[in-house]
Protein backbone atom coordinates (compact mmCIF):
# COMPACT_ATOMS: atom_id res chain seq x y z
CA UNK A 1 0.00 0.00 0.00
CA UNK A 2 1.25 3.51 -0.82
CA UNK A 3 2.40 5.64 2.07
CA UNK A 4 0.05 8.53 1.21
CA UNK A 5 -2.97 6.55 -0.04
CA UNK A 6 -5.10 7.27 3.03
CA UNK A 7 -6.64 10.72 3.39
CA UNK A 8 -6.49 12.69 6.63
CA UNK A 9 -10.28 13.00 6.73
CA UNK A 10 -10.63 9.24 7.17
CA UNK A 11 -8.54 9.31 10.37
CA UNK A 12 -5.58 7.44 8.88
CA UNK A 13 -1.91 8.24 9.33
CA UNK A 14 -0.52 11.56 8.14
CA UNK A 15 0.74 11.49 4.51
CA UNK A 16 4.54 11.50 4.19
CA UNK A 17 4.66 14.52 1.86
CA UNK A 18 2.56 16.61 4.21
CA UNK A 19 4.68 15.52 7.20
CA UNK A 20 7.92 16.52 5.43
CA UNK A 21 6.49 19.92 4.50
CA UNK A 22 5.32 20.38 8.07
CA UNK A 23 8.79 19.53 9.39
CA UNK A 24 10.46 21.85 6.90
CA UNK A 25 8.21 24.78 7.84
CA UNK A 26 8.80 24.03 11.52
CA UNK A 27 12.57 24.22 11.04
CA UNK A 28 12.21 27.55 9.23
CA UNK A 29 10.14 28.95 12.10
CA UNK A 30 12.74 27.80 14.65
CA UNK A 31 15.62 29.26 12.62
CA UNK A 32 13.77 32.60 12.15
CA UNK A 33 13.09 32.64 15.87
CA UNK A 34 16.77 32.13 16.67
CA UNK A 35 17.67 34.90 14.21
CA UNK A 36 15.32 37.21 16.04
CA UNK A 37 16.89 36.32 19.39
CA UNK A 38 20.35 37.00 17.93
CA UNK A 39 19.23 40.47 16.86
CA UNK A 40 17.88 41.26 20.32
CA UNK A 41 20.81 39.76 22.25
CA UNK A 42 23.50 37.67 20.49
CA UNK A 43 24.58 36.08 23.80
CA UNK A 44 21.25 34.28 24.14
CA UNK A 45 21.71 32.34 20.91
CA UNK A 46 25.45 31.73 20.95
CA UNK A 47 26.19 28.41 19.25
CA UNK A 48 22.50 27.69 18.42
CA UNK A 49 21.29 27.06 14.89
CA UNK A 50 18.36 24.64 15.32
CA UNK A 51 17.23 22.27 18.10
CA UNK A 52 18.94 19.27 16.53
CA UNK A 53 22.24 21.16 16.45
CA UNK A 54 21.79 22.04 20.10
CA UNK A 55 21.24 18.38 21.00
CA UNK A 56 24.15 17.25 18.82
CA UNK A 57 26.55 19.65 20.53
CA UNK A 58 25.55 18.37 23.95
CA UNK A 59 26.06 14.75 22.83
CA UNK A 60 29.42 15.66 21.35
CA UNK A 61 30.62 17.23 24.59
CA UNK A 62 29.35 14.42 26.81
CA UNK A 63 30.02 11.37 24.63
CA UNK A 64 32.68 12.18 22.04
CA UNK A 65 34.89 13.91 24.61
CA UNK A 66 34.01 11.50 27.39
CA UNK A 67 35.75 8.39 28.77
CA UNK A 68 36.38 5.29 26.58
CA UNK A 69 33.48 3.35 28.15
CA UNK A 70 30.97 6.03 27.12
CA UNK A 71 32.56 6.13 23.66
CA UNK A 72 32.07 2.37 23.31
CA UNK A 73 28.39 2.47 24.30
CA UNK A 74 27.76 5.31 21.88
CA UNK A 75 29.35 3.51 18.94
CA UNK A 76 27.25 0.42 19.69
CA UNK A 77 24.26 2.74 19.42
CA UNK A 78 25.54 3.89 16.02
CA UNK A 79 25.59 0.28 14.87
CA UNK A 80 22.02 -0.23 16.14
CA UNK A 81 20.68 2.88 14.34
CA UNK A 82 20.79 1.56 10.72
CA UNK A 83 19.21 -1.70 11.92
CA UNK A 84 16.19 0.21 13.21
CA UNK A 85 15.93 2.52 10.21
CA UNK A 86 16.72 0.14 7.35
CA UNK A 87 16.77 -3.55 8.29
CA UNK A 88 13.62 -3.54 10.42
CA UNK A 89 10.57 -4.35 8.17
CA UNK A 90 8.28 -1.41 7.55
CA UNK A 91 5.09 -3.32 8.37
CA UNK A 92 6.42 -4.30 11.82
CA UNK A 93 7.21 -0.66 12.60
CA UNK A 94 3.78 0.36 11.38
CA UNK A 95 2.11 -2.21 13.52
CA UNK A 96 4.11 -1.22 16.57
CA UNK A 97 4.09 2.59 16.32
CA UNK A 98 2.24 3.67 13.20
CA UNK A 99 3.73 5.94 10.56
CA UNK A 100 3.62 9.00 12.74
CA UNK A 101 5.73 7.43 15.47
CA UNK A 102 8.10 5.78 12.97
CA UNK A 103 9.13 9.05 11.32
CA UNK A 104 9.48 10.68 14.71
CA UNK A 105 11.74 7.81 15.83
CA UNK A 106 13.81 8.07 12.66
CA UNK A 107 14.34 11.80 13.24
CA UNK A 108 15.38 11.22 16.85
CA UNK A 109 17.81 8.41 15.96
CA UNK A 110 19.43 10.43 13.17
CA UNK A 111 19.77 13.41 15.49
CA UNK A 112 21.44 11.31 18.16
CA UNK A 113 23.83 9.50 15.79
CA UNK A 114 24.75 11.39 12.63
CA UNK A 115 24.60 14.95 13.93
CA UNK A 116 27.26 14.54 16.67
CA UNK A 117 29.61 12.92 14.15
CA UNK A 118 29.14 15.76 11.69
CA UNK A 119 29.63 18.24 14.51
CA UNK A 120 32.85 16.41 15.50
CA UNK A 121 34.19 16.66 11.94
CA UNK A 122 33.16 20.31 11.71
CA UNK A 123 34.86 21.14 15.01
CA UNK A 124 38.07 19.44 13.85
CA UNK A 125 38.05 21.55 10.68
CA UNK A 126 37.64 24.70 12.75
CA UNK A 127 40.48 23.57 15.01
CA UNK A 128 42.81 23.11 12.02
CA UNK A 129 41.84 26.50 10.61
CA UNK A 130 42.48 28.17 13.96
CA UNK A 131 45.92 26.53 14.29
CA UNK A 132 47.08 27.66 10.82
CA UNK A 133 49.95 30.12 11.17
CA UNK A 134 51.10 32.31 8.30
CA UNK A 135 54.71 33.53 8.11
CA UNK A 136 56.86 35.13 5.43
CA UNK A 137 60.00 33.14 6.32
CA UNK A 138 60.22 29.90 8.30
CA UNK A 139 63.57 28.39 9.34
CA UNK A 140 63.52 24.72 10.30
CA UNK A 141 66.22 24.08 12.91
CA UNK A 142 67.48 26.23 15.78
CA UNK A 143 71.19 25.46 15.45
CA UNK A 144 74.07 27.70 14.43
CA UNK A 145 72.94 28.12 10.82
CA UNK A 146 69.28 28.71 11.68
CA UNK A 147 69.89 31.28 14.42
CA UNK A 148 72.54 33.14 12.39
CA UNK A 149 70.15 33.39 9.44
CA UNK A 150 67.31 34.61 11.65
CA UNK A 151 69.53 37.18 13.33
CA UNK A 152 70.87 38.40 9.98
CA UNK A 153 67.31 38.89 8.75
CA UNK A 154 66.39 40.65 11.99
CA UNK A 155 69.29 43.10 11.54
CA UNK A 156 67.78 43.92 8.14
CA UNK A 157 64.31 44.44 9.61
CA UNK A 158 62.83 41.18 8.31
CA UNK A 159 60.93 38.83 10.62
CA UNK A 160 61.42 35.08 10.54
CA UNK A 161 60.19 32.15 12.62
CA UNK A 162 62.63 29.46 13.78
CA UNK A 163 61.17 25.99 14.42
CA UNK A 164 63.17 23.92 16.91
CA UNK A 165 62.10 20.32 17.48
CA UNK A 166 63.46 20.09 21.04
CA UNK A 167 62.08 21.97 24.04
CA UNK A 168 65.21 24.13 24.41
CA UNK A 169 68.32 25.18 22.51
CA UNK A 170 69.94 21.90 21.54
CA UNK A 171 73.71 21.74 22.14
CA UNK A 172 75.70 19.05 20.34
CA UNK A 173 79.46 19.11 20.01
CA UNK A 174 80.16 21.08 23.23
CA UNK A 175 82.68 23.44 21.57
CA UNK A 176 83.91 24.42 18.12
CA UNK A 177 86.83 26.33 16.66
CA UNK A 178 85.86 29.71 15.24
CA UNK A 179 88.30 30.88 12.57
CA UNK A 180 88.86 34.31 11.04
CA UNK A 181 86.18 33.90 8.37
CA UNK A 182 83.48 33.13 10.94
CA UNK A 183 84.52 36.00 13.22
CA UNK A 184 83.94 38.38 10.31
CA UNK A 185 80.46 36.93 9.86
CA UNK A 186 79.69 37.13 13.59
CA UNK A 187 80.74 40.78 13.58
CA UNK A 188 78.32 41.38 10.72
CA UNK A 189 75.36 40.12 12.80
CA UNK A 190 76.61 41.99 15.86
CA UNK A 191 77.67 39.28 18.32
CA UNK A 192 81.43 39.02 17.73
CA UNK A 193 82.53 41.18 20.66
CA UNK A 194 80.16 39.43 23.09
CA UNK A 195 81.82 36.08 22.34
CA UNK A 196 85.38 37.46 22.25
CA UNK A 197 85.08 38.64 25.83
CA UNK A 198 84.39 35.08 27.02
CA UNK A 199 87.01 33.09 25.09
CA UNK A 200 90.80 33.02 24.80
CA UNK A 201 92.49 33.91 21.52
CA UNK A 202 94.82 31.14 20.32
CA UNK A 203 98.37 32.04 19.23
CA UNK A 204 99.20 29.15 16.94
CA UNK A 205 98.88 25.51 15.91
CA UNK A 206 101.40 22.86 16.98
CA UNK A 207 101.31 19.34 15.56
CA UNK A 208 103.14 16.43 17.22
CA UNK A 209 103.47 12.79 16.13
CA UNK A 210 102.93 10.31 18.96
CA UNK A 211 104.68 7.70 16.82
CA UNK A 212 108.02 9.53 16.56
CA UNK A 213 107.52 11.99 19.40
CA UNK A 214 108.61 14.83 17.10
CA UNK A 215 106.94 18.10 16.24
CA UNK A 216 105.84 17.91 12.60
CA UNK A 217 104.72 21.51 12.14
CA UNK A 218 104.10 24.83 13.85
CA UNK A 219 101.93 27.60 12.43
CA UNK A 220 101.66 30.99 14.10
CA UNK A 221 98.37 32.86 14.13
CA UNK A 222 100.16 36.08 15.18
CA UNK A 223 102.64 36.43 12.32
CA UNK A 224 101.77 39.67 10.55
CA UNK A 225 104.56 39.08 8.02
CA UNK A 226 103.19 35.77 6.78
CA UNK A 227 101.07 35.21 3.71
CA UNK A 228 97.83 35.16 5.68
CA UNK A 229 98.80 37.70 8.34
CA UNK A 230 97.35 37.70 11.85
CA UNK A 231 94.52 35.17 12.22
CA UNK A 232 91.87 35.35 14.92
CA UNK A 233 91.15 31.84 16.21
CA UNK A 234 89.26 30.89 19.38
CA UNK A 235 87.71 27.73 20.77
CA UNK A 236 84.11 28.72 21.54
CA UNK A 237 81.53 27.03 23.73
CA UNK A 238 78.67 25.95 21.49
CA UNK A 239 76.18 26.61 24.27
CA UNK A 240 77.38 30.21 24.67
CA UNK A 241 77.32 30.74 20.91
CA UNK A 242 73.71 29.56 20.57
CA UNK A 243 72.55 31.51 23.62
CA UNK A 244 74.22 34.68 22.37
CA UNK A 245 72.55 34.40 18.97
CA UNK A 246 69.16 33.57 20.51
CA UNK A 247 69.32 36.43 23.02
CA UNK A 248 69.72 38.95 20.20
CA UNK A 249 66.49 37.80 18.53
CA UNK A 250 63.09 39.35 19.31
CA UNK A 251 60.83 37.47 21.70
CA UNK A 252 58.80 34.81 19.91
CA UNK A 253 61.29 34.28 17.10
CA UNK A 254 61.97 30.68 18.20
CA UNK A 255 59.14 28.15 18.50
CA UNK A 256 60.24 25.11 20.53
CA UNK A 257 58.83 21.55 20.42
CA UNK A 258 57.97 22.16 16.77
CA UNK A 259 59.04 19.08 14.85
CA UNK A 260 58.12 19.18 11.15
CA UNK A 261 56.65 15.90 9.91
CA UNK A 262 55.69 16.81 6.34
CA UNK A 263 55.96 19.53 3.71
CA UNK A 264 53.07 20.35 1.39
CA UNK A 265 52.94 22.63 -1.64
CA UNK A 266 50.15 25.20 -1.81
CA UNK A 267 50.31 27.60 -4.73
CA UNK A 268 53.20 30.00 -4.20
CA UNK A 269 53.63 28.90 -0.58
CA UNK A 270 54.70 25.85 1.40
CA UNK A 271 52.64 24.37 4.22
CA UNK A 272 54.46 22.68 7.09
CA UNK A 273 52.68 20.11 9.24
CA UNK A 274 54.04 19.84 12.78
CA UNK A 275 53.88 16.82 15.03
CA UNK A 276 51.40 18.58 17.36
CA UNK A 277 48.93 19.12 14.51
CA UNK A 278 49.80 22.75 13.86
CA UNK A 279 50.11 23.86 10.25
CA UNK A 280 52.29 26.76 9.13
CA UNK A 281 52.05 28.46 5.77
CA UNK A 282 55.20 30.24 4.59
CA UNK A 283 56.48 32.13 1.57
CA UNK A 284 60.07 30.94 2.16
CA UNK A 285 61.19 27.64 3.68
CA UNK A 286 64.79 27.40 4.92
CA UNK A 287 66.19 24.04 6.04
CA UNK A 288 68.79 24.20 8.81
CA UNK A 289 67.76 20.88 10.33
CA UNK A 290 71.13 19.13 10.42
CA UNK A 291 72.68 16.04 8.90
CA UNK A 292 69.37 14.15 8.76
CA UNK A 293 67.52 17.07 7.21
CA UNK A 294 63.92 16.58 6.10
CA UNK A 295 64.13 19.68 3.90
CA UNK A 296 67.26 18.33 2.18
CA UNK A 297 65.38 15.10 1.43
CA UNK A 298 62.52 17.14 0.00
CA UNK A 299 65.04 18.81 -2.33
CA UNK A 300 66.28 15.40 -3.45
CA UNK A 301 69.47 14.94 -1.41
CA UNK A 302 70.41 11.55 0.01
CA UNK A 303 71.51 10.83 3.57
CA UNK A 304 75.05 11.98 4.35
CA UNK A 305 77.65 9.22 3.89
CA UNK A 306 79.54 7.59 6.76
CA UNK A 307 83.30 8.15 6.53
CA UNK A 308 84.19 5.07 8.56
CA UNK A 309 85.50 7.23 11.42
CA UNK A 310 84.14 8.31 14.77
CA UNK A 311 84.77 11.47 16.80
CA UNK A 312 84.64 11.88 20.57
CA UNK A 313 84.43 15.32 22.15
CA UNK A 314 84.91 16.37 25.73
CA UNK A 315 84.68 19.57 27.76
CA UNK A 316 86.59 19.87 31.03
CA UNK A 317 85.40 22.56 33.42
CA UNK A 318 88.05 23.07 36.12
CA UNK A 319 87.72 24.64 39.56
CA UNK A 320 90.97 26.56 39.24
CA UNK A 321 92.71 28.22 36.31
CA UNK A 322 94.65 25.87 34.05
CA UNK A 323 98.19 26.51 32.86
CA UNK A 324 97.68 25.36 29.30
CA UNK A 325 99.24 27.62 26.67
CA UNK A 326 96.81 29.38 24.31
CA UNK A 327 97.73 26.99 21.52
CA UNK A 328 95.91 24.62 19.18
CA UNK A 329 97.69 21.37 20.15
CA UNK A 330 97.25 18.35 17.84
CA UNK A 331 98.67 14.84 18.26
CA UNK A 332 98.68 12.04 15.69
CA UNK A 333 98.95 8.31 16.21
CA UNK A 334 98.21 5.12 14.29
CA UNK A 335 94.67 5.58 13.08
CA UNK A 336 93.71 8.36 15.49
CA UNK A 337 94.07 12.09 16.09
CA UNK A 338 93.58 14.08 19.29
CA UNK A 339 93.55 17.78 20.07
CA UNK A 340 93.28 19.98 23.16
CA UNK A 341 92.35 23.67 23.11
CA UNK A 342 91.60 26.12 25.95
CA UNK A 343 88.26 27.93 25.75
CA UNK A 344 88.77 30.26 28.71
CA UNK A 345 90.85 30.35 31.89
CA UNK A 346 89.04 27.37 33.46
CA UNK A 347 87.68 25.40 30.50
CA UNK A 348 89.46 23.10 28.05
CA UNK A 349 87.90 21.43 25.04
CA UNK A 350 89.34 18.27 23.52
CA UNK A 351 88.50 15.89 20.68
CA UNK A 352 89.54 12.42 19.62
CA UNK A 353 88.87 10.95 16.16
CA UNK A 354 89.62 7.33 15.35
CA UNK A 355 89.11 4.54 12.83
CA UNK A 356 87.14 1.88 14.74
CA UNK A 357 87.67 -1.81 14.10
CA UNK A 358 84.40 -3.34 15.28
CA UNK A 359 83.50 -1.55 18.51
CA UNK A 360 82.96 1.98 17.23
CA UNK A 361 79.22 2.05 17.88
CA UNK A 362 79.61 0.32 21.25
CA UNK A 363 82.15 2.90 22.43
CA UNK A 364 80.04 5.79 21.16
CA UNK A 365 77.13 4.64 23.33
CA UNK A 366 79.14 4.05 26.53
CA UNK A 367 81.01 7.13 27.91
CA UNK A 368 82.86 5.03 30.52
CA UNK A 369 84.37 2.65 27.97
CA UNK A 370 84.99 5.51 25.55
CA UNK A 371 86.95 7.57 28.07
CA UNK A 372 89.09 4.58 29.03
CA UNK A 373 89.68 3.74 25.36
CA UNK A 374 90.89 7.29 24.66
CA UNK A 375 93.25 7.30 27.67
CA UNK A 376 94.70 3.92 26.67
CA UNK A 377 95.44 5.23 23.18
CA UNK A 378 97.20 8.29 24.57
CA UNK A 379 99.86 6.60 26.70
CA UNK A 380 102.61 8.51 24.86
CA UNK A 381 100.81 11.84 25.18
CA UNK A 382 102.28 14.44 27.60
CA UNK A 383 100.77 14.16 31.07
CA UNK A 384 99.67 17.79 31.02
CA UNK A 385 97.38 17.19 28.04
CA UNK A 386 96.10 13.84 29.40
CA UNK A 387 95.11 15.53 32.65
CA UNK A 388 92.25 17.44 31.03
CA UNK A 389 90.80 14.28 29.54
CA UNK A 390 91.02 12.53 32.92
CA UNK A 391 89.21 15.46 34.58
CA UNK A 392 86.35 15.47 32.08
CA UNK A 393 83.01 14.35 33.49
CA UNK A 394 81.13 11.58 31.73
CA UNK A 395 78.16 13.90 31.14
CA UNK A 396 80.35 16.14 28.94
CA UNK A 397 81.71 13.39 26.69
CA UNK A 398 79.98 12.80 23.37
CA UNK A 399 80.77 10.55 20.42
CA UNK A 400 79.27 10.54 16.94
CA UNK A 401 79.99 8.86 13.59
CA UNK A 402 81.58 11.30 11.14
CA UNK A 403 79.50 11.91 8.04
CA UNK A 404 79.97 14.01 4.93
CA UNK A 405 78.21 14.83 1.70
CA UNK A 406 79.89 13.80 -1.51
CA UNK A 407 81.08 16.94 -3.36
CA UNK A 408 79.47 15.81 -6.61
CA UNK A 409 76.07 15.82 -4.89
CA UNK A 410 76.40 19.58 -4.48
CA UNK A 411 77.40 19.92 -8.13
CA UNK A 412 74.36 17.98 -9.34
CA UNK A 413 71.84 18.68 -6.56
CA UNK A 414 69.42 21.51 -5.84
CA UNK A 415 70.70 23.74 -3.04
CA UNK A 416 67.57 25.79 -3.70
CA UNK A 417 64.36 24.97 -5.51
CA UNK A 418 61.40 27.30 -5.92
CA UNK A 419 61.07 29.02 -2.52
CA UNK A 420 63.01 26.39 -0.53
CA UNK A 421 66.73 26.18 0.30
CA UNK A 422 69.11 24.52 2.78
CA UNK A 423 72.25 25.54 4.64
CA UNK A 424 74.51 24.44 7.47
CA UNK A 425 74.88 20.70 8.07
CA UNK A 426 71.74 20.11 6.02
CA UNK A 427 73.73 21.35 3.01
CA UNK A 428 77.39 20.56 3.69
CA UNK A 429 78.02 17.98 6.43
CA UNK A 430 81.80 17.61 6.57
CA UNK A 431 84.49 16.04 8.72
CA UNK A 432 85.99 18.28 11.44
CA UNK A 433 89.58 18.01 10.17
CA UNK A 434 89.96 21.69 9.19
CA UNK A 435 87.43 23.03 11.70
CA UNK A 436 85.21 24.75 9.13
CA UNK A 437 81.82 23.04 9.57
CA UNK A 438 80.37 25.55 12.03
CA UNK A 439 82.23 28.46 10.44
CA UNK A 440 80.75 27.65 7.05
CA UNK A 441 77.26 27.51 8.59
CA UNK A 442 77.72 31.03 9.99
CA UNK A 443 78.82 32.23 6.54
CA UNK A 444 75.73 30.59 5.02
CA UNK A 445 73.42 32.48 7.36
CA UNK A 446 74.88 35.90 6.53
CA UNK A 447 74.86 35.30 2.77
CA UNK A 448 71.29 33.97 2.76
CA UNK A 449 69.98 36.86 4.89
CA UNK A 450 71.60 39.32 2.50
CA UNK A 451 70.07 37.66 -0.57
CA UNK A 452 66.58 37.35 0.91
CA UNK A 453 66.65 41.02 1.86
CA UNK A 454 66.91 41.82 -1.84
CA UNK A 455 63.51 40.21 -2.37
CA UNK A 456 61.73 41.52 0.74
CA UNK A 457 63.16 45.05 0.92
CA UNK A 458 61.66 46.12 -2.42
CA UNK A 459 58.13 47.46 -2.85
CA UNK A 460 55.58 44.99 -1.47
CA UNK A 461 54.35 42.59 -4.11
CA UNK A 462 52.06 39.61 -3.90
CA UNK A 463 51.50 36.39 -5.76
CA UNK A 464 53.61 35.23 -8.65
CA UNK A 465 55.79 38.34 -8.87
CA UNK A 466 56.88 38.04 -5.23
CA UNK A 467 57.40 34.30 -5.67
CA UNK A 468 59.72 34.90 -8.64
CA UNK A 469 61.75 37.45 -6.66
CA UNK A 470 62.18 35.00 -3.79
CA UNK A 471 63.15 32.20 -6.15
CA UNK A 472 65.76 34.41 -7.84
CA UNK A 473 67.28 35.49 -4.51
CA UNK A 474 67.65 31.85 -3.41
CA UNK A 475 69.30 30.99 -6.72
CA UNK A 476 71.87 33.73 -6.09
CA UNK A 477 72.54 32.31 -2.63
CA UNK A 478 72.97 28.80 -4.03
CA UNK A 479 75.36 29.98 -6.74
CA UNK A 480 77.48 31.89 -4.22
CA UNK A 481 77.75 29.03 -1.73
CA UNK A 482 77.98 25.97 -3.96
CA UNK A 483 81.72 25.99 -4.76
CA UNK A 484 82.75 27.31 -1.37
CA UNK A 485 81.04 24.32 0.27
CA UNK A 486 82.46 21.85 -2.26
CA UNK A 487 85.98 23.15 -1.58
CA UNK A 488 85.64 22.83 2.20
CA UNK A 489 84.08 19.34 2.09
CA UNK A 490 86.75 17.96 -0.24
CA UNK A 491 89.68 19.58 1.59
CA UNK A 492 88.44 18.44 4.98
CA UNK A 493 88.02 14.85 3.83
CA UNK A 494 91.48 14.67 2.21
CA UNK A 495 93.23 16.29 5.18
CA UNK A 496 91.49 13.89 7.56
CA UNK A 497 92.44 10.87 5.46
CA UNK A 498 96.12 11.87 5.47
CA UNK A 499 96.26 12.97 9.10
CA UNK A 500 94.60 9.83 10.39
CA UNK A 501 95.98 7.28 7.92
CA UNK A 502 96.88 3.97 9.52
CA UNK A 503 99.44 2.68 7.00
CA UNK A 504 103.17 3.18 7.50
CA UNK A 505 103.52 4.94 4.15
CA UNK A 506 100.78 7.49 4.93
CA UNK A 507 102.21 8.10 8.42
CA UNK A 508 105.71 8.67 7.03
CA UNK A 509 104.33 10.93 4.30
CA UNK A 510 102.41 12.94 6.91
CA UNK A 511 105.17 13.21 9.54
CA UNK A 512 108.14 14.02 7.32
CA UNK A 513 106.88 15.57 4.10
CA UNK A 514 103.56 17.44 4.21
CA UNK A 515 103.00 18.28 7.88
CA UNK A 516 103.42 22.01 7.24
CA UNK A 517 101.26 21.85 4.11
CA UNK A 518 98.38 20.37 6.08
CA UNK A 519 98.70 23.03 8.77
CA UNK A 520 98.65 25.80 6.18
CA UNK A 521 95.28 24.53 4.90
CA UNK A 522 93.75 25.66 8.19
CA UNK A 523 94.79 29.24 7.46
CA UNK A 524 94.10 29.10 3.75
CA UNK A 525 90.46 28.04 4.11
CA UNK A 526 89.83 30.65 6.79
CA UNK A 527 91.01 33.42 4.46
CA UNK A 528 87.49 34.24 3.29
CA UNK A 529 85.06 37.12 3.72
CA UNK A 530 81.33 36.52 3.22
CA UNK A 531 80.69 40.26 3.01
CA UNK A 532 78.35 42.68 4.76
CA UNK A 533 74.59 42.46 5.09
CA UNK A 534 74.04 45.64 3.08
pLDDT of residue 512: 62
Residue 42 has pLDDT above 50, yes or no: no
Measured CA to CA, the distance from residue 315 to residue 6 in angstroms comes to 94
Strand 269-274 to 279-287 pairing? antiparallel
Question: What whole-number percentage of the chain has pLDDT above 70?
Answer: 71
Residue 40 has pLDDT above 60, yes or no: no
pLDDT of residue 219: 86
Residue 484 has pLDDT above 70, yes or no: yes
Q: From its phi and psi, is residue 15 left (phi > 0), alpha (psi between -120 and 50) or beta?
A: beta
pLDDT of residue 157: 94
How far apart, in Å, are the Cα atoms of 503 and each of 336, 404, 434, 437? 12, 23, 21, 27
| Mean predicted confidence (pLDDT) in 58-70 | 54
Q: Cα dihedral angle (48, 52, 55, 57), rounded to 10 degrees?
A: -60
Mean of pLDDT over the chain? 80
pLDDT band at residue 26 under the 50/70/90 scheme: very low
More confident position, 404 or 226: 404
pLDDT of residue 445: 98
Question: What whole-number percentage of the chain has pLDDT above 90?
Answer: 51
Residue in 140, 167, 146 with CA at minimum distance from that of residue 246? 146
More confident position, 10 or 448: 448
pLDDT of residue 365: 84
Residue 314 has pLDDT above 50, yes or no: yes
140 half-sphere exposure, CB direction, 13 A CA radius: 33
Q: Report pTM.
A: 0.76
More confident position, 528 or 173: 528
Helix, strand counts (H, E) of the chain? 18, 17
DSSP state of 252: T
Residue 91 has pLDDT above 90, yes or no: no
Range from 11-15, 279-283, 366-370, 386-390 that averages highest in pLDDT: 279-283
pLDDT of residue 534: 78
pLDDT band at residue 257 under the 50/70/90 scheme: very high
pLDDT of residue 4: 39
Residue 502 has pLDDT above 70, yes or no: no
pLDDT of residue 86: 52
Range from 112-116, 223-227, 479-483 that averages highest in pLDDT: 479-483
Sign of CA dihedral 453, 242, 170, 490: positive
Domains belonging to the chain, first-starting first, are 16-131 (no CATH), 141-526 (3.50.50.60)
pLDDT of residue 495: 87
pLDDT band at residue 362 under the 50/70/90 scheme: confident
pLDDT of residue 81: 56
pLDDT of residue 36: 45
Residue 374 has pLDDT above 60, yes or no: yes
| Mean predicted confidence (pLDDT) in 103-108 | 54
pLDDT of residue 196: 97
pLDDT, tens digit, for every residue of 134-179? 999 999 999 999 999 999 999 999 999 999 999 888 877 689 999 9
Strand 175-178 to 204-209 pairing? unpaired
Q: CB of 325 within 8 A of CB of 202?
A: no
pLDDT of residue 178: 97
pLDDT of residue 292: 94
Amino acid sequence: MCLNSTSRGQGGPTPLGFKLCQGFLGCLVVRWGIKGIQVLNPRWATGLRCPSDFVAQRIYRVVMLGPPVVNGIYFLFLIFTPVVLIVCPLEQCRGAWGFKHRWRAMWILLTLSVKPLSYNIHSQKIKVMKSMIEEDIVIVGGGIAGLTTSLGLHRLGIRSLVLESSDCLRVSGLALTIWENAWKALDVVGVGDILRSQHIQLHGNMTISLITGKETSFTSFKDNKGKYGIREVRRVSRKLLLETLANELPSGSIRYTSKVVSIQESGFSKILHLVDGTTIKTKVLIGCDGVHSMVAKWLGFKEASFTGRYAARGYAKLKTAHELEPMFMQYFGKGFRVGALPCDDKSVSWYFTWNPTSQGKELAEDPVKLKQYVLNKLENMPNGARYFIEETGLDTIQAVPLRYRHPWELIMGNISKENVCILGDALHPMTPDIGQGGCCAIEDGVVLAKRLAEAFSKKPKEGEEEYKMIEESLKKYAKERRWRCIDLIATSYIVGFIQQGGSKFVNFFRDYMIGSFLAVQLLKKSNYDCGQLK
